[in-house]
Structure 1
Amino acid sequence: MTKETRLSDRSQTSTLDETVQIVDWDGPDDPQNPKNWPTKRKWAATLIVACFTLVSPIASAIISPATSNIMREFGSTNSTIAGMLTSIFVLGFAIGPLFLGPLSEVYGRSRVIQWANIWFLVWNFACGFTHTPTQLIIFRFFAGIGGSAPITIGGAVVGDTFHPEQRGRAIAIYALGPMIGPALGPCVGAWIASRASWRWVFWSTSIFDVLVQIAGVMLLQETFAPVLLERKARRLTREQAADPEKGEKKVVVQYRTIYEDQDRSWQTIFKKALTRPLVLFAKEPIIQLLGAYMSLIYGIFYLFITTMPRIFENVYHESTGIMGLNYIALGSGMLFASFLNSRTMDKIYKYCKERNGGVGEPEFRVREYQSYGIPTIVPASIVLPVGMLMSGWGAQNHTHWIVVDIGIFFVGMGMILSFQCIQTYIVDCFPLYAASGIAAVGFTRSLCGFSFPLFAEAMYNSLGYGKGNTVLSAIAIALGCPA
């Protein structure tokens, strides 16, 4: 017999039969629902995840200015291996999300982020003790797998806690880590490489990560609704079993959450979660299109990170430490774009929602909707190729270094504008499976981030900086504007 009942913790349930009851939130204003948390609590979760997300991108690129020192100590001159020392970390970003994102939808966001971060910490610290390029490449690959967790899951944490009309600013703050990290890392790494052993590049990031891990243990709370309701159901079961009025029959009701299937085995849940990113990518054309565009941008991003030392040391004859300061231009472009997104994305979304009869659409993030508003991804698809042309031809013609840095600023700006819009769109489209959606586009994106630095030197040796960047900017226009 089906009926509504009130439980001891004021949870609202409906009895399906005599033994099964469905556990849900206690109404739309239940304070236990992460979307109803106080604003300070929401931002605390977002900022902690943003710190986790900052660490691994710093580690991914901090090695770039020290590559020549490492290759000299190891006695190697292979340019492909030199590029792989940096980019192999990003290959871990491609593999990790395929199972870490789904795992967060089975065991919760907080638990997966913290255990994956410990895995990253162990391998990143070990990188400082390597004695061959092979050891360093293998250790950095394993570190990249663990470091991919916050990048994959962090956007889902924002989706768990913020309503769509509040989500743009939170995504803008959170997404600073994946973008600022690869720009900040080489800037710091250049001075470490010039003043101390390159091994301190890894040890310094490990020390910083320990501090972030301690903060995460103390402050990062679970946000995934199915896991929170599952804990609630287990608590109700324990309370029922401890009720002395039940006598010998302590468990008379089986509690299930609204998210549970009939088959509650972890094997079934885990199988679905593991295959979900691949299914989303195979069946959702919009993920395929935006994923391809993100992949190109990410590949260009890491191509710039690995070739900037060559440009400023060989063309402008700057020392390693001074060369690292040019990464400030890349980071400044990202900071400016993030500020712009934080000020505009939510306003555009709210404006479009009001003009659409109060109905929000994920498309308000990435494209003009019936002339209601123009998301920032539109100018981003123009700013990015302009910056590439400026930096490439500036270096080719040996113009003043400020011209190249201005171009790099525009590249950073175009990247962050596009990334944040696309990532917020995916979270809006798949709020419950946001981690899987991000993992779906993250796989191809990270493959490009891994592969582009490997052919960068050969491309620039053959075409030069001007023509090489012209080719890449033409591809960005051809793919980005239609997308």
Structure 2
Amino acid sequence: MTCFRRAFKLSKNEVKNANPPGTVSLISHHLERTETGRDVPQDEVQLNPRPSLNPADPLNWPLWRKGAILACMSLFAFVANFTSASIASAFPIYATPAVFTPPPSFTQLTRLIAVNVLMLGASNIWWLPLANVFGRRPIMLISLLTLTLCSMWAGLAKSYHSLLAARLFMGIGGGPADVVAPNVVGEVFFVHQRGRAMAIYTVFLTLGPLVGGTGGGYIAASNGVL
């Protein structure tokens, strides 16, 4: 309440010169004297956040290593969302007695996507706190292992309810791709680099369900089931 009252007591000049919370300066402007004695304006990129002297600090890692981490996080986001949407193209096959007996209704089949998408978001209620306590790397490895094993479970499922349970745990395993992965990207890159890095990550994130819905149709057509 104190900050709220103070905000309305600011003068017009104070409001004009104030910076919103989180504002950082990316470029510093200064004059540099040349050999001829002239002062030439120079722009220098400021590193924010400031890297430490520890070589293990992710901000001090070489660019190729940061790029590899970005590629891994982007691929994880792509795969997690690909598996969420790819099964939709196989619904006409699952609705026949050729797969499950008795065949599930289309209402039941839509739950295969609904529970997966639900857990992609809801599972981060515990994934993110666990990542903050135990670190990003073990949580990402555990979630990837969960997604892989449950994808195999879904492929070998012999009943609708078994497939539904597998899809639920697939969503749990893919949850960190939407929340923990962008945190990893943000912790590796400087502020002036994060825009491009997050754009690459977001492209893979959004391409996942798009390619999954299309690619799932070819998989279903060639194999009969996903």
TM-score, normalization by structure 2: 0.71
1:58 aligns with 2:85: no
TM-superposition CA deviations, 1:264-314 (whole Å, max 9, x none): xxxxxxxxxxxxxxxxxxxxxxxxxxxxxxxxxxxxxxxxxxxxxxxxxxx
SS in 1 for 2:67: helix
Q: Could you say which residue in structure 2 is the equivalent of 1:114? A: 141
Higher RCO (CA < 8 A, seq sep 6+): 2
For structure 1, the 5+ residue unaligned runs are: 1-25, 202-483
Q: Could you say which residue in structure 2 is the equivalent of 1:96? A: 123
**CA drift at 1:140:** 0.4
TM-superposition CA deviations, 1:410-431 (whole Å, max 9, x none): xxxxxxxxxxxxxxxxxxxxxx
Q: Could you say which residue in structure 2 is the equivalent of 1:324? A: none
Identify which of 174, 186, 204 aligns with 2:213. 186
Alpha-carbon separation, structure 2, partners of 1:163 and 1:28: 13
Q: Which amino acid aligns with 2:167?
A: R
User: Percent of aligned positions with the same letter in both sequences?
Assistant: 29
Retained in 2: the 8 A contact 1:56–1:181?
Answer: yes
Alpha-carbon separation, structure 2, partners of 1:46 and 1:147: 17
More helix per residue: 1 or 2? Answer: 1
Identify which of 38, 51, 63 aligns with 1:39. 63
SS in 1 for 2:187: helix
Retained in 1: the 8 A contact 2:87–2:216?
Answer: yes
1:196 aligns with 2:220: no
**Please, what is the CA RMSD of the aligned residues?**
1.9
Retained in 2: the 8 A contact 1:67–1:85?
Answer: no
TM-superposition CA deviations, 1:12-37 (whole Å, max 9, x none): xxxxxxxxxxxxxx974543221222
Given the superposition, is the C-alpha separation of residues 141 and 38 from structure 1 closer, same or farther in structure 2, using an over 3 Å criterion?
Answer: same
For structure 2, the 5+ residue unaligned runs are: 1-49
Alpha-carbon separation, structure 2, partners of 1:135 and 1:148: 20
TM-superposition CA deviations, 1:196-233 (whole Å, max 9, x none): 131xx2xxxxxxxxxxxxxxxxxxxxxxxxxxxxxxxx
Identify which of 147, 153, 157 aligns with 2:174. 147
Retained in 2: the 8 A contact 1:54–1:181?
Answer: yes
Q: Which amino acid aligns with 1:53?
A: A
Alpha-carbon separation, structure 1, partners of 2:85 and 2:204: 12
Identify which of 49, 60, 73 aligns with 1:49. 73
Aligned 1:276-315 pairs, distance under 5 A:
none
**CA drift at 1:138:** 1.1
Alpha-carbon separation, structure 2, partners of 1:68 and 1:101: 37
Alpha-carbon separation, structure 1, partners of 2:137 and 2:78: 16
Retained in 2: the 8 A contact 1:130–1:136?
Answer: yes
**CA drift at 1:119:** 1.1
Q: Could you say which residue in structure 2 is the equivalent of 1:123? A: 150
Given the superposition, is the C-alpha separation of residues 77 and 52 from structure 1 closer, same or farther in structure 2, using an over 3 Å criterion?
Answer: closer
SS in 2 for 1:175: helix
SS in 2 for 1:56: helix
